[in-house]
Amino acid sequence: MKIGFIGLGIMGRPMAKNLIKAGHELVVTDLNKEAVADLVSCGAKAVENGAAVAAECDQAITMVPNSPQVWTVVTGRGGILESAKAGFTLIDMSSIDPVESKKIGAALAEKGCDMLDAPVSGGEPKAIDGTLSVMVGGKKETFDKYLPVLDAMAGSVTYVGDLGAGNIAKLANQIVVACNIAAVAEALTFSKKVGADPELVYQAIRGGLAGSTVMDAKAPMMMSGNYKPGFRIELHIKDLTNALNAAHAVNSPVPLTGEVMEMFQSLKAYGCEKDDHSALAKYYQRLADTSIVK
C-alpha cells in the first residue's frame, strides 16, 4: 500500500521505518530534513508538504505533537485538504484533544474524506521494535480496512469506538502512566530515606501486585539517573493538559492528574522539560533531599 507519513519525530521515524519493513511504499514529509533523509535512505519518497502527500496517496498517517499541528497539516497552507480527493483517509496517530479530533474529522468529511484517531502508547523503545499499543476511534469499516497497516507498527491494536474515542483512551492511559511513575518515584525515595536499598526494594515488589510495566521501564532509569527521553516531560504536560480540559468539560474530577501535572510543571520550571518523564524522581529528590541514583 502507498501511504503518506507526516511527522518523523522520536516516535514517527521508527514507526515509518516499520511500515517500510512491512512492504509498504511511503511518501514522507517533515520539517526535520535529517529525519526525512533517513527515511529516504530506507526507500521512502520525500515531498514538500501535506498537500503533496495527499496528491500521491489515498491514505496518510500524521504523527505530530498536538492539535494545532494536526489542524495545520490538514487545513493550513500546503495542507492535506488542498489536494485530497474524496475517499482519502487520514489516520491521525498523534495524541490530541478528542474534541479536536472530532472537529478535524468533520473538516475532512466536508471534502468526502475519512479519519481515524489512533494514538499510541509505549514510547520510543516500542516504536522501534514495532510493539506499540494503538487505541483507535472512527468507523468500524475504516478500522477493519487499515488494521493490517496499524499491525505493522504495533503489538496490540484495539478498536475503542467512534471518532475521538481513541484519544479518550490515550488520555486515560496517560493519567495512569503519570500517576504510576509518580508513585514509583515516591516509593523508591521513601525506601532510601528510611534506610533501605531502592534497587532491592524494587526487586522485592516488582513481582507482586505493585509490579507494572511502568515500574519495570522507569524504576531502572530513575536509579541510574538516566533521563534520556523515551517520552519527554513537555509531551506528558501536553497530554495531561488535554486530559484536564476534557475532564473539566464534563465535570469529571481528576485530582490525582492535577497533582502530577503540578509536579511536572515544577520540573519544567527547573529546566527539565526535555527529560524523560521518569525524571519525576528529581522532584522527589528535591522534596526529600534524598537521591535514589546508585
Point out the residues that are catalytic. 170
For the residues of 183-210, what is the DSSP string, one character each?
A: HHHHHHHHHHHTT--HHHHHHHHTTSTT
Q: Are 273 and 232 in contact (CB under 8 A)?
A: yes
Angstrom distance (rounded) from CA 17 to CA 28: 11
Got the DSSP string for 231-271? SBHHHHHHHHHHHHHHHHHTT---HHHHHHHHHHHHHHHTT
Contact 36, 46 (CB under 8 A): yes
Q: Would you tell me the crossing angle of helices 255-269 and 233-249 to the nearest 10 degrees?
A: 150
Chain centroid, CA 172 distance in Å: 12
